[in-house]
């Protein structure tokens, strides 16, 4: 099981959503990080994703930048959308 981080500033498109869904179905640990200033649409998409087996973190509310760097380097894969 891999740990995958998705960095979002805007709402994910269909490819991003399908990618995340596939990773969850494959048993990967999926973490969605909403970057500072993320659009309201990204918040809604993240809330839906959280109910679908992902963990959602917000910068700087849940993670500061040092913690984000640690998360990025501690993950198997990082995707910025």
Successive 10-residue mean pLDDT values, the chain, 81 residues: 92 86 94 86 70 87 96 98 90
pTM: 0.88
d(CA 74, CA 25): 21
d(CA 59, CA 65): 7
E-assigned strand segments in the chain: 3-8, 29-34, 55-58, 77-80
Residue extents of the structural domains in the chain: 3-80
- pLDDT of 34 reads 92
Q: Which fold has domain 3-80?
A: Rossmann fold (3.40.50)
- pLDDT of 42 reads 73
User: CB–CB of 30/55 below 8 Å?
Assistant: yes
d(CA 28, CA 21): 10
């Amino acid at each position: 099981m891999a740990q995958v981080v998705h960095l979002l500033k805007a709402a994910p498109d269909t490819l991003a959503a399908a990618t995340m869904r596939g990773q969850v179905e494959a048993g990967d640990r999926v973490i969605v990080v909403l970057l500072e200033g993320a659009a309201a649409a990204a918040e809604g998409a993240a809330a839906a994703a959280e109910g679908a087996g992902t963990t959602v973190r917000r910068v700087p509310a849940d993670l500061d930048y040092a913690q984000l760097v640690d998360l990025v380097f501690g993950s198997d894969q990082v995707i910025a959308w």
